[in-house]
Amino acid sequence: MKSAGVTLLENASATGDMHRWPSGRGLFACVGTFGTEKVTLEFLGPDGSTWISVPDVGGTKIELSAAGSEIFELPPCVIRAAVSSGGETPPSGLYAAASRIPV
């Protein structure tokens, strides 16, 4: 069994850095003060510049507006936690991580 995890946001209020995802099923979790914003799990598209929303295992875009988690599955790629902006109440103290679920 091999497991991996990445910290995507740490006490953040804006989109985090990109990180390598090794492949496989994972759990995306996010907590903090969301305000009126959302945190979306994204992966880098094949053109190397377009970010694409990651679907959960049911096919729905992973987009959290409150503390929570979602299961996803991806091939090897680059991921990030994108924080929306422009709402009435800004986010603060956001923490997000993606952890691989061993099979």
Residue 100 placed within a domain:
no
Residue 2 has pLDDT above 50, yes or no: no
pTM exceeds cut of 0.75: yes
The pLDDT value recorded for residue 79 is 98
Q: What is the pLDDT of residues 5-38, one digit of tens each?
A: 899 999 999 999 999 999 999 999 999 999 999 9
Residue 45 placed within a domain:
yes
User: pLDDT confidence of 1, banded at 50, 70, 90?
Assistant: very low
Of 38, 59, 42, nearest to 8 by C-alpha is 42
Residue 23 placed within a domain:
yes
Residue 60 placed within a domain:
yes
How many domains are contained in the chain?
1
Radius of gyration of the chain (CA): 13
Q: What is the pLDDT of residues 42-100, one digit of tens each?
A: 999 999 999 999 999 999 999 999 999 999 999 999 999 999 988 889 999 999 999 99
Residue 78 half-sphere exposure, CB side, CA atoms within 13 Å? 12
Residue 97 placed within a domain:
no
Residue 5 placed within a domain:
no
The pLDDT value recorded for residue 86 is 84
